[in-house]
Structure 1
Amino acid sequence: MMVWLLLLLALILRFLTYKISRRKMYKLTSLVSAPLEELPIIGVAHTMHGSSVDRMETLKQFSYYSFESHGIIRMWLFHILYFVLTNPVDIEMILKNCLEKDDLHRFVRNVIGNGGIFAPVSIWRRRRKVTVPAFSPKIIENFVEVFSEQSEILVKRLEPRVGTGQFSIWPYLSSYTLDSVSETAMGVKLHAQENPNSLFLQAINKLLHLVSERFFCLWLQPNWLYKFMPQYATHEKNKNIMHEFVDQVITKKREEIKTKHESKSESENKKDFDFDSYKRNSFLDLLITLSGGEKGFTNVELREEVLTLTVAGTDTSAVSIGYTLVLLGKYPEIQEKVHQELCDVFGDSDRPLVKEDISKLKYLERVVKESLRLYPPVPFIARKVLKDIKLSSGYVLPAGSGIIVSIWGIHRDPKYWGPDAEKFDPDRFLPERFNFEHSCSFMPFSNGPRNCVGYQYALMSMKIALSTILRRYRIVGKEGTLRNPFIKVKLQIMMKAVDDYQVALERRVPKTSDCNARGS
């Protein structure tokens, strides 16, 4: 009996010590507004249960609450503290000073390792110096041919769906982006479009779903406990499929580069790296060479960077293309403006897109940006507060807390986008209208030192695929959704449409009277 009493006293003492050590945190947090759903002890943990749709709805609602609370609210999940931010001035400070990703990212790192997006700062800084040159505009523009070729395959695969009514275009888009990314990132033709049941693509989709589950289900988070869960076997099986495939590609690529180098004269080997000689090579080629060849990135580091680009690039571009197509189906007058621009550039010709065409598609670019504003593929960014930080708004965020930057909220705040912030209006991005004081008012690819290095790459992939589809087909939205920008979404790391992007296609019949023949 005495032992149990002592144990109970020890637990009470430990609890009180823990509470006292967090007095400052509680004091600072009490100054920040709480959502209406907050309860004693558990905070808002009960709102995070349910489906991926429910969780997305909760975080959207919290974002809207923050509009009325100076762009910040608190969010307790039992003893874990987060702040939801939508004030672009405060967010700019956070993204510049709080570079460490939140602990939730460990579940992604379990799958793809310390790739640039998710790596701890100590690893990220060193790798960023290598990856940034690999994403230079001079390098990226040489991938236009790959995107153009893959988008032509995409429209051919869509041909049987013309006139058949509503269908999910998601499988077509995700296989297009995977084929494009695998060829540009690894130099490998996966042919996922011809084989939609690609094991690699299935592995990516299954792992993203499992990781998203762990984000929000507290009982799935401890690694020791997760090993006893039924999801663990599926998790490990698909992780191994991804790792083994990429490891094989890296091994072959190293052998290929070594053979190339051995065939050069000794004097040539002493020259500095020549971008032009590698301009048609994949990012894997560039990462190996820019990092120092055999003395540079290890095979594991290469795998982590390639997997990060492959997973992020496949889903980001696919969801963004999907949202844009659905929105164009809802707004036929905007779709017709896009088509007229395509007529002006291509005329009645069916020639493939070339890099000189991209800069001419100015209205399409505004459409893509407006789609990214309303439906950013990554709607929330999570960062860790390592030491107290005072925001421009006057609030102090305590060390040990986490921050959720709501890109969804920033992009829909009437203070910055006007009373029609929920409306789909590409002309917001006309040069004379888009002139924000705060760069963080529009940030679909994040902002600050850890922004997405591949944003130009992603935009290029989107514009090429969209232009190729819209030259041949008219997108028809669901009946009853005309001029309604609302798309029901779910949160699975990235934000995706619940209905997997349902559209209908009609064939466009080329008419010289409708198209300016300048592009023919």
Structure 2
Amino acid sequence: MIVWFLFAMAVLWIIQFRYRRRRMYKLASAIPAPRTELPGIGIAGSLAGNAEDIMVTLQKLSYEAMENDGIVRGWLNHILYFLICDPIDLEVILKNCLEKDDLHRFIRKIIGYGGIFAPVSIWRRRRKILVPAFSPKIVEKFVEVFSEQSEVLAQQLANKTGIGKFSIFPHLSAYTLDSVCETAMGVKIGAQRNSNSPFLTSLNEILDIVCKRIFHLWLQPDWLFKWFPQFSKHERNIKILHGFTDDVIQKKRTELKKDKQNQPEADNHYNLCDYQRKSLLDLLIYLSGGDKGYTDVELREEILTLSIAGTDTTAVSIGYTLQLMAKYPQVQNKVYEELCEVLGDANKPIVKEDLHKLKYLERVVKESLRLFPPVPFVIRKVEADIELPSGRILPSGSGVVVSIWGCHRNPKYWGPDAEHFDPDRFLPERFNLAHPCSYMPFSTGPRNCVGYQYALLSIKTTLSRILLNYKVVEEPETGPIPHIRVKLNIMMKAVDGYQVALEKRKPSRVTST
């Protein structure tokens, strides 16, 4: 009798649940479903594999969206998502749906309410502080750090020549971490010379765990996650990341306090020009109001966010570009010729004026970011019904997967050669976007990446140093479409860890112009 009663209550609850969501079901039924959708669980089954399987599934969904006027829907059990790769619709979404999806709660456990993942109410205030901190005049001052750290990278790669293929990613992520820690926190951690850096190891491990929690439903409930072996590693890595960052913040607070005490009363004021030579941590303390500004926890949240975003996105961008250089040696030769013309001496420190002259390298980087964007998908929450320019209506309570990967490969906007690697498509006379949102490697709209100029300067500096000193070698691609297996690990990364071989270049005889 009790069993039948419980069964009846369950049925009544389901009926009531579905009745309350009847508008959602109606609007969802007007959008094409993916071919892999199953009754009850939707697309959950196809997202249960490893990081490469998940990326392959999302790529297939993006192609299906292209075939269906830029949109496809998918149920993740009872949660409704729309994957969209039409830039006209996405412009409206990215301007109006500013709240991050609930799936971001897993990374918030690590970084808290750092600007990228913060709720709108917190994000608005912090964005106002972050934007001036990443002004071009300040960011350009960091080129000196990028140049110094890229020289260390070139030295570390010297013993990799002549050994055949190896994974260059550990070297790249160590370079980006050294650069980020020096520019964001004002500390040198020497990750490039210490392959066992606890901060870097913890960062890589915890991002892998977060990605698994996002796509593996059984890891999502906190009470259930505690029973899995990943939980203890998750907590240990958080402790390492938080401990390191908190220690840096306390030392910086003490340093600034001493500096203030040592200044004459008349000079005891802030000048933004003085901060152009300081770290982002200095800037955040100053711009937020000094002692009355950000708390230590808020500073940790922002610095950790910058560290995670700056380390991985830049490293994977450099890695993809190097693999593309190896696959297309004729493109690499043109880059090298330009580098010899602009820089000349491979040992000459790189300055910002040099980077502005590297026009072909910039086109190569942009094309690399088009085909292999580090953040291929952005997820937003639909808090109120929204009608798109295409006429489709997305219901409140659903989520939107912004397929940057799909936008960048949509033949409707990029032509029949959308999958081809062609840096010259970014020539001024050829680059004519049908819609600005068809190219957005750093997202777009109010919540776009504030550090995109920082990333581009770091990428170009490092590529210049590597390609001046080494020829990157791999099996050349036989056609215009590059084939690189990728996986989704928060960022989109190469499955093989960016396997390349290096050959030491002979000193260039070309002098700088």
The reply to whether TM is greater than 0.5 is: yes
Q: Distance in 2 between matches of 1:446 and 1:253?
A: 32
Equivalent AA in structure 2 for residue 456 of structure 1: Q
Report deviation, 1:9: 2.1
The DSSP-based 3-state class of the residue aligned with 2:512 is: helix
Equivalent AA in structure 2 for residue 322 of structure 1: G
Q: Which residue of 2 is the match for residue 452 of structure 1?
A: 449
The DSSP-based 3-state class of the residue aligned with 1:491 is: strand
Match of 1:316 among 313, 317, 320: 313
Matches within 5 A, 1:241-252: 241-252=240-251
Residue 330 of structure 2 corresponds to residue 333 of structure 1: yes
Report deviation, 1:355: 1.6
Residue 492 of structure 2 corresponds to residue 492 of structure 1: no
Matches within 5 A, 1:47-66: 47-66=46-65
Report the number of matched residues. 513
Report deviation, 1:5: 3.2
Report deviation, 1:483: 5.4
Contact 2:442–2:448 under 8 Å retained in 1: yes
What does the per-residue CA deviation read over 1:252-296, in whole Å, with 9 as the maximum and x for residues that have no partner? 101111111112222323x4x312212111000000011001110
Q: Distance in 2 between matches of 1:511 and 1:219?
A: 57
Structure 1 residue runs without a partner (length 5+): none
Equivalent AA in structure 2 for residue 201 of structure 1: L
Report deviation, 1:4: 3.5
Q: Which residue of 1 is the match for residue 107 of structure 2?
A: 108
What does the per-residue CA deviation read over 1:401-428, in whole Å, with 9 as the maximum and x for residues that have no partner? 0000001100001111111111111111
Q: Which residue of 2 is the match for residue 470 of structure 1?
A: 467
Report deviation, 1:364: 0.5
Report deviation, 1:43: 1.2
Q: Which residue of 2 is the match for residue 410 of structure 1?
A: 407
Equivalent AA in structure 2 for residue 388 of structure 1: D
Report deviation, 1:125: 0.5
Q: Which residue of 2 is the match for residue 169 of structure 1?
A: 168
Q: Which residue of 1 is the match for residue 297 of structure 2?
A: 300
Of residues 471-480 and 159-168 in structure 1, the stretch that sits farther from structure 2 once superposed is 471-480
Distance 1:218 1:66, change over 3 A: same
What does the per-residue CA deviation read over 1:384-415, in whole Å, with 9 as the maximum and x for residues that have no partner? 00010000000000000000000110000111
Q: Which residue of 2 is the match for residue 428 of structure 1?
A: 425
Q: Which residue of 2 is the match for residue 278 of structure 1?
A: 275
Matches within 5 A, 1:28-427: 28-269=27-268, 271=269, 273-348=270-345, 350-427=347-424
Of residues 346-355 and 439-448 in structure 1, the stretch that sits farther from structure 2 once superposed is 346-355
Contact 1:330–1:483 under 8 Å retained in 2: no
Of residues 234-243 and 412-421 in structure 1, the stretch that sits farther from structure 2 once superposed is 412-421
Contact 1:330–1:482 under 8 Å retained in 2: no
The DSSP-based 3-state class of the residue aligned with 2:425 is: helix
Q: Spell out structure 1 runs of 4+ moving beyond 4 A.
A: 479-484
Q: Distance in 2 between matches of 1:317 and 1:286?
A: 22
Structure 2 residue runs without a partner (length 5+): none
Equivalent AA in structure 2 for residue 491 of structure 1: L
Task: State TM-score, norm by structure 2.
Answer: 0.98
Q: Distance in 1 between matches of 2:480 and 2:65?
A: 28
Distance 1:511 1:107, change over 3 A: closer
Report deviation, 1:250: 0.2
Identity of matched residues, %? 61
Report deviation, 1:484: 4.9
Contact 2:346–2:508 under 8 Å retained in 1: no
Q: Which residue of 2 is the match for residue 518 of structure 1?
A: 512
Q: Which residue of 1 is the match for residue 434 of structure 2?
A: 437
Equivalent AA in structure 1 for residue 4 of structure 2: L
Report deviation, 1:349: 5.5
Of residues 7-16 and 224-233 in structure 1, the stretch that sits farther from structure 2 once superposed is 7-16
Report deviation, 1:511: 4.2
Equivalent AA in structure 1 for residue 371 of structure 2: L
Contact 1:166–1:478 under 8 Å retained in 2: no
Report deviation, 1:375: 0.3
Equivalent AA in structure 2 for residue 225 of structure 1: L
Q: Quote the RMSD (CA, aligned, Å).
A: 1.2
Q: Distance in 1 between matches of 2:503 and 2:346?
A: 19
Contact 2:346–2:469 under 8 Å retained in 1: no
What does the per-residue CA deviation read over 1:216-269, in whole Å, with 9 as the maximum and x for residues that have no partner? 110100011111211100000010000000000000101111111112222323
Equivalent AA in structure 1 for residue 245 of structure 2: V
Q: Which residue of 2 is the match for residue 14 of structure 1?
A: 13
Report deviation, 1:354: 1.2
Report deviation, 1:327: 0.3
Equivalent AA in structure 2 for residue 399 of structure 1: S
What does the per-residue CA deviation read over 1:180-224, in whole Å, with 9 as the maximum and x for residues that have no partner? 000000000010000011000000000000000001110100011
Equivalent AA in structure 2 for residue 65 of structure 1: E
Report deviation, 1:480: 6.4
Contact 2:344–2:508 under 8 Å retained in 1: no
Q: Distance in 2 between matches of 1:57 and 1:261?
A: 55
Q: Distance in 1 between matches of 2:199 and 2:67?
A: 45
Report deviation, 1:482: 7.3
Q: Distance in 2 between matches of 1:100 and 1:478?
A: 44
The DSSP-based 3-state class of the residue aligned with 2:493 is: strand
Equivalent AA in structure 1 for residue 91 of structure 2: E
Q: Distance in 1 between matches of 2:174 and 2:362?
A: 23
